[in-house]
Structure 1
Amino acid sequence: MKRNAKHSFPNRWFWIALLVPVGVLLSMTVQPLLALYGGERITLQTIPVDPKDLFYGDYVQLRLAIEEVDASLVEEDLAQKVEKDPDNDGFPVYVSLRRHGQTVVVTKVSEQKPQTSLYLKGKLFPFSQSLNDEGKKNYLIDYQLDRYYVEEGHGMELEKLSREGKVWADVKVKGGYGVLVDVKPAP
């Protein structure tokens, strides 16, 4: 007996074409979930920022103190690469961190994965003048941890504190990947 072509099951290519995009989307959630549920919790200081947009829904615009790194902490060969190509879209880097009181500080910026377990991945951009220390050479690092969504109606107070640099951010870190889990007034 022959199968009716109208009622046949889809072939294997149909299932592959269906499952590949679903697999790709699911794989994008693995690293954030590993950091969120198995990562080490650290607290980061913020520095004042005056955002262009106050709300996208309700969120707090953050600028982390570890985003502005003194040139002495960047490996020399990496600094030379950045200075030779200042129009680059950012150099992938590993930022080694060390606990310092209730927060963490940057100890080294490198292209090589550090031996320590406490580090973040980021993108390094050419140096700029520091807002705090005139004439001091700094590099900027983007960790993609600059926006935190809050319950509706609660963003304005945190936004005001953030502009004054009086907010701390709690981040879960695992394998260099960070997930922003809480924003709170600094003690």
Structure 2
Amino acid sequence: MMPDKRLIVSALVLALVQIAFLSWIIAGRAAILRNGAEVLLRVEPVDPRDLLRGDYVYLSYDISRIPVRLIANIPADRKTSHDGPLVVRLKQEADGYWRPAAAWLDKAPEAAPPGEVDIAGHIFAGWNLGDDPEATVSPDYGIERFYLPEGEGGVIERDMRVRPFGIRAAIAKDGTAQIKALVDGDKTLFEEPLY
């Protein structure tokens, strides 16, 4: 029996669409790594393990807790956050690490000036935006996991508790971030390949 030509054509079209979609995701990530603004962020580790992908270090940053007082556009009547975007403007400090200088719910009013970079984060509903001067929000930037070769996670986590580590991240113009490398002081430990 000869298969129906429409079935063969449909299967080929479906396969091409899937390949194009995966290529688009990979090319987008590579474009950020290649062309994005590079920043250095100090990390604070936790070391879990992913059964399917192996060892990874869960990373928390100085920019993982944003003081509410830095968020410039909180409506006067809003006391808690809604589920949505948070843009954080980063500025490099004397020690080489980038730290938050300002933040906005939804989007920044203008592009970051030279020497500063905007990173796109996401906050969930329920964070206190009210009267507490010490209140913070914890955005998710999509760069909170770094996968390592098998058996390296525990060693890296132990060392991170003794001395400061960082990541070099590339940030696209739209604020999307990708991890480029895990660094120990001036030494690059692991670097992400473009593809």
What TM-score comes out, normalization by structure 1 length? 0.74
Aligned partner of residue 153 in structure 1, secondary structure? coil
Residue of structure 1 aligned with 2:142, choices 135, 141, 144: 144
Q: Does 1:112 align with 2:104?
A: no
CA distance in structure 1 between the partners assigned to 2:148 and 2:156 by the alignment: 9
Instruction: Give matches, 1:26-105, under 5 Å.
Output: 26-47=23-44, 49=45, 51=46, 54-56=48-50, 57-77=54-74, 81=78, 83=80, 85=82, 90-101=83-94, 102-105=96-99
Identity rate of aligned residues, in percent? 18
Q: Is the 2:81–2:123 contact (alpha carbons within 8 Å) kept by the matching residues of 1?
A: no
5+ unaligned residues in a row in structure 2: which ranges? Answer: 187-195
2:60 aligns to what SS in structure 1? Answer: coil
Contact residue 158 and residue 185 of structure 1 kept, 8 A: no
Q: Secondary structure at the match of 1:26?
A: helix
Matched, 1:161 2:154: no
- Please state whether the residue corresponding to 1:118 is helix, strand or coil: strand
Question: What letter matches 1:96 in structure 2?
Answer: R
Computed over aligned residues only, the root mean square deviation of the Cα atoms, in angstroms, reads 3.1
Please tell me whether the aligned partners of residues 85 and 107 of structure 2 are also in contact (alpha carbons under 8 angstroms): no
State the TM-score, normalized to the length of structure 2.
0.71
Residues 45 and 78 (structure 1 numbering): CA distance in 2 closer, same or farther, change over 3 Å? farther
- In the alignment of these two chains, the number of paired residues is 171
3-state SS of 1:59 partner: strand
Per the TM alignment, residue 140 of structure 1 is displaced from its structure 2 partner at its CA by 0.7
Relative distance call for 1:76 and 1:146 in structure 2 (3 A) is same
Moved over 3 A (4+): 5-13, 15-18, 78-82, 125-128, 161-165
Structure 1 residue runs of 5 or longer lacking an equivalent are 129-134
